[in-house]
């Protein structure tokens, strides 16, 4: 204990002696994601810490995620500023359409080639420009990109209780240590709630309200630790999420296996039973037939040929998307051969549906105080992160201009990092 304190003081005093230019006041950034935090979850729960953060910083009315509204794809949009069709992480599951092999969320985190598909997450871009970065449980944080990986990382254990508040506080303490002792510039921190509870009990449940209270307590703890660590004057804190949550409707369900004249013997590859999204490759010569039997099979089901998928989703124009794809309306999940989905809450739906919208909050030296911002799309967060870190972004689908109104006015000689 005393030894490690001594070590900490030693590091801090060394840090104080480095030349001013090098120790320059590059502000740090902490990006926090609470998975599946719907935009209005703070409206039926007392959230004093989120409210204080809004009063001292910026709160967006809501943020529109990318489509499909799934965890890994939407987090990768935050990290790259690209829509799914442009970053390639089009699903939570890795799959091979020739062999039919599919890997679940956790395994897919470790498959480099799934993530490293031509786009660099902000960690790597920042490191190439001389910064130090970290990731705690953040989707995409386990993979290597062009052989490079985030400098400091914690990866979720395979069997993991997402709601353990003790673990949440330990991870926050780790973030503080990485900023103060390891002098990291950027850390992305992920929590698997309120998503897990929203799936299990539904977004309108008492359990969901209780976990939102826990999220709020955790934000209180986080901001207290930021103050105690002396980081408050030069840390920009962003709290956001990947998507919202919708109550699953259990009658008149969409069941592909039960559609008249449809047979799985016409199908070469299928990815179904994953909320409201489906991917299909019909066998040679069967595409028109499969399309014609599915397209009007259910009033809540939308089936498209890849080229005809609505452009507003920015989803289908990618080699990983199959010749046929489908999605269903809010509340309806797509069952395949058998009914194997039993969640009470689900996401993956149209990103224009209000229940898929999510949160964006920010506080720190770069942000205005007490601003309620108009809604924006999550592809724009990346450009903001790059601006805050003073790094040159990779090509992306967002624009700094969209979020510039959140930032304080800059003096004539520039805004902190931008000149470094
Ligand atoms: C899928 O599997 C086939 C056959 O094993 C292999 O040739 C191909 O490279 C694999 N594709 C991907 C993307 O892993
Ligand atoms: C992206 O992945 C697909 C296969 O899933 C592959 O064909 C393509 O070459 C990859 N692109 C890049 C830039 O890695
Ligand atoms: C997860 O942890 C929380 C808090 O420690 C506990 O209340 C809950 O029962 C745990 N859940 C499981 C499935 O172990
Ligand atoms: C199913 O196929 C049969 C035989 O071709 C046809 O008569 C019937 O109209 C089809 N039903 C639907 C819903 O397409
Ligand atoms: Zn999620």
CA of 291 to the centre of ligand 4 (A): 13
Q: What share of the chain in percent tops pLDDT 90? A: 90
Cα–Cα distance between 84 and 283 in angstroms, integer? 26
Q: Tell me which ligand sits closest to the C-alpha of residue 259.
A: 4
Q: First-to-last CA distance in the chain?
A: 37
* Nearest atom within ligand 1 for CA of residue 96: 1
Q: Three-class SS of residue 55?
A: helix
Residue 50 has pLDDT above 90, yes or no: yes
Work out the pLDDT band at 81, boundaries 50, 70, 90.
very high
Which of 319, 321, 322 has most ligand 2 atoms within 8 Å of its beta carbon, as the pocket-test mutant? Answer: 319
Work out the pLDDT band at 137, boundaries 50, 70, 90.
very high
* Residue of 64, 69, 71, 77 marked active site: 71
Residue 399: what pLDDT?
98
Q: Tell me which ligand sits closest to the C-alpha of residue 103.
A: 1
pLDDT in tens, 180-190: 999 999 999 99
Residue 48 has pLDDT above 50, yes or no: yes
Cα–Cα distance between 176 and 230 in angstroms, integer? 10
Determine the average pLDDT of the residues in 367-384.
98
Which candidate, 96, 100, 93, 103, places its Cα nearest to that of 70?
Answer: 93
Residue nearest atom 14 in ligand 2 by C-alpha distance:
117
Residue 297 has pLDDT above 70, yes or no: yes
Residue nearest atom 6 in ligand 1 by C-alpha distance:
98
How many beta carbons lie within 10 A of that of residue 372, not counting itself?
9
Q: What share of the chain in percent tops pLDDT 70? A: 91
Q: Tell me which ligand sits closest to the C-alpha of residue 207.
A: 3
Q: What are the C-alpha distances in Å from 405 to residues 300, 354, 371, 384, 409?
A: 39, 23, 9, 11, 9
How many beta carbons lie within 10 A of that of residue 53, not counting itself?
22
Domains and CATH numbers, the chain: 27-96+105-245+354-419 (3.40.720.10), 254-342 (3.30.1360.180)
Task: Write the CB contacts of 99 (distance below 8 Å, at least 6 apart in sequence).
Answer: none
User: What backbone phi and psi angles, to 5 degrees, belong to 301?
Assistant: -105, 135
Residue nearest atom 9 in ligand 2 by C-alpha distance:
117
CA of 276 to the centre of ligand 1 (A): 26
Residue nearest atom 2 in ligand 4 by C-alpha distance:
261
Torsion, Cα 95 96 102 107, to 10 degrees, reads -60
Which candidate, 124, 208, 122, 221, places its Cα nearest to that of 165?
Answer: 221
Strands 301-305 and 324-328: antiparallel
How many beta carbons lie within 10 A of that of residue 406, not counting itself?
20
Which of 256, 258, 261, 293 has most ligand 4 atoms within 8 Å of its beta carbon, as the pocket-test mutant? Answer: 261
Q: What are the C-alpha distances in Å from 108 to residues 95, 273, 341?
A: 9, 17, 20
Residue 26: what pLDDT?
87
CA of 240 to the centre of ligand 5 (A): 11
pLDDT in tens, 257-278: 999 999 999 999 999 999 999 9
Buried b (16+ CB within 10 A) or exposed e, 286-307: bbeebbebbeebbebbbbbeee
Q: Ligand 2 within 6 A of 198 CB?
A: no
Find the residues whose C-beta lies inside 6 A of ligand 1.
96, 98-99
Task: Tell me, yes or no, if 71 is annotated catalytic.
Answer: yes
Residue 408 has pLDDT above 70, yes or no: yes
Residue 410 has pLDDT above 50, yes or no: yes
**Which has the higher per-residue pLDDT, 21 or 235?**
235
Residue 290 has pLDDT above 60, yes or no: yes
Per the CB < 8 A criterion, the answer to whether 86 and 119 are in contact is yes
Q: Three-class SS of residue 17?
A: helix
Cα–Cα distance between 252 and 195 in angstroms, integer? 25
Determine the average pLDDT of the residues in 305-320.
98
CA of 119 to the centre of ligand 5 (A): 20
pLDDT in tens, 87-108: 999 999 999 999 999 999 999 9
Task: Write the CB contacts of 337 (distance below 8 Å, at least 6 apart in sequence).
Answer: 256, 257, 264, 272
CA of 146 to the centre of ligand 2 (A): 13
Residue 237: what pLDDT?
98
Q: What are the C-alpha distances in Å from 242 to residues 54, 75, 370, 406?
A: 19, 6, 24, 20
Residue 348: what pLDDT?
98
Per the CB < 8 A criterion, the answer to whether 43 and 212 are in contact is no
Q: Ligand 2 within 6 A of 88 CB?
A: yes
* Nearest atom within ligand 1 for CA of residue 99: 2
Q: Ligand 2 within 6 A of 320 CB?
A: yes
Cα–Cα distance between 256 and 414 in angstroms, integer? 58
Q: Tell me which ligand sits closest to the C-alpha of residue 295.
A: 4
Per the CB < 8 A criterion, the answer to whether 138 and 75 are in contact is yes
Two tokens, residue 377: 């799309």
The vertex-243 CA angle with 392 and 150, nearest 5°, equals 40
Q: What are the C-alpha distances in Å from 383 to residues 78, 131, 231, 252?
A: 9, 16, 23, 43
Determine the average pLDDT of the residues in 214-241.
98
Residue nearest atom 14 in ligand 3 by C-alpha distance:
161
Which residues sit opposite 135 in a β-bridge?
Answer: 153, 188
**Ranges 15-19, 179-183, 401-405: which has the least confidence:** 15-19
Residue 105: what pLDDT?
97
Residue nearest atom 10 in ligand 4 by C-alpha distance:
261
Residue 21: what pLDDT?
36
Residue 2 has pLDDT above 70, yes or no: no
What is the dihedral sign for C-alpha 167, 168, 170, 171?
positive
Residue 347 has pLDDT above 80, yes or no: yes
* Nearest atom within ligand 1 for CA of residue 97: 1
Residue 14 has pLDDT above 50, yes or no: no
> Which residue intervals of 295-395 are DSSP H helices?
381-389
Which candidate, 133, 145, 205, places its Cα nearest to that of 175?
Answer: 133
Determine the average pLDDT of the residues in 312-331.
98
Work out the pLDDT band at 411, boundaries 50, 70, 90.
low
- Mean pLDDT, the chain, whole residue set: 93
Q: Ligand 4 within 6 A of 261 CB?
A: yes
Cα–Cα distance between 232 and 322 in angstroms, integer? 48
Which candidate, 265, 268, 275, places its Cα nearest to that of 96?
Answer: 268
């Amino acid at each position: 204990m005393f030894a490690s304190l001594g070590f900490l003081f030693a590091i801090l005093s060394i840090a104080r002696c480095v030349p001013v230019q090098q120790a320059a006041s590059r502000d740090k950034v902490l990006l926090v994601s609470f998975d599946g935090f719907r935009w209005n979850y703070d409206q039926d729960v007392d959230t004093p810490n989120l409210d204080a953060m809004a009063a001292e910083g910026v709160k967006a009315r809501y943020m529109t995620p990318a489509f499909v509204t799934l965890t890994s794809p939407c987090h990768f949009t935050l990290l790259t500023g690209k829509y799914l069709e442009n970053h390639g992480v089009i699903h939570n599951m890795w799959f091979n359409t020739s062999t039919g092999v599919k890997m679940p969320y956790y395994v897919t985190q470790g498959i480099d080639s799934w993530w490293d598909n031509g786009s660099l997450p902000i960690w790597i871009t920042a490191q190439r420009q001389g910064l130090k970065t970290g990731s705690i449980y953040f989707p995409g944080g386990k993979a290597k990109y062009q052989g490079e990986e985030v400098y400091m990382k914690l990866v979720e254990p395979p069997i993991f209780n997402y709601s353990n508040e003790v673990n949440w506080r330990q991870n926050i303490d780790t973030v503080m240590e990485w900023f103060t002792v390891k002098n990291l510039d950027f850390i992305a921190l992920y929590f698997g709630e309120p998503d897990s509870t929203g799936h299990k009990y539904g977004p309108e449940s008492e359990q969901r309200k209780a976990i939102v209270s826990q999220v709020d307590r955790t934000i209180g703890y986080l901001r207290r630790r930021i103050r105690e660590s002396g980081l408050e004057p030069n840390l920009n804190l962003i709290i956001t999420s990947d998507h919202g949550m919708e109550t699953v409707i259990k009658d008149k369900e969409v069941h592909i296996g039960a559609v008249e004249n449809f047979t799985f013997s016409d199908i070469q590859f299928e990815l179904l039973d994953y909320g409201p999204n489906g991917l299909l490759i019909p066998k040679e010569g069967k595409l028109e037939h499969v399309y014609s039997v599915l397209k009007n099979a259910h009033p809540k089901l939308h089936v498209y040929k890849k080229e005809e998928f609505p452009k507003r989703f920015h989803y289908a124009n990618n080699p990983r998307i199959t010749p046929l794809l489908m999605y269903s309306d809010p509340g309806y999940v797509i069952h395949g051969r058998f009914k194997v989905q039993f969640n009470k809450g689900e996401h993956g739906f149209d990103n224009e549906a209000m229940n898929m919208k999510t949160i964006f909050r920010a506080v720190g030296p770069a942000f205005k105080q007490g601003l309620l911002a108009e809604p924006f799309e999550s592809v724009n967060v990346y450009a903001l992160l790059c601006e805050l870190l003073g790094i040159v972004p990779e090509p992306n689908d967002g624009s700094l201009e969209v979020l510039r109104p959140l930032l304080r006015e800059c003096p004539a000689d520039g805004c902190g990092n931008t000149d470094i």
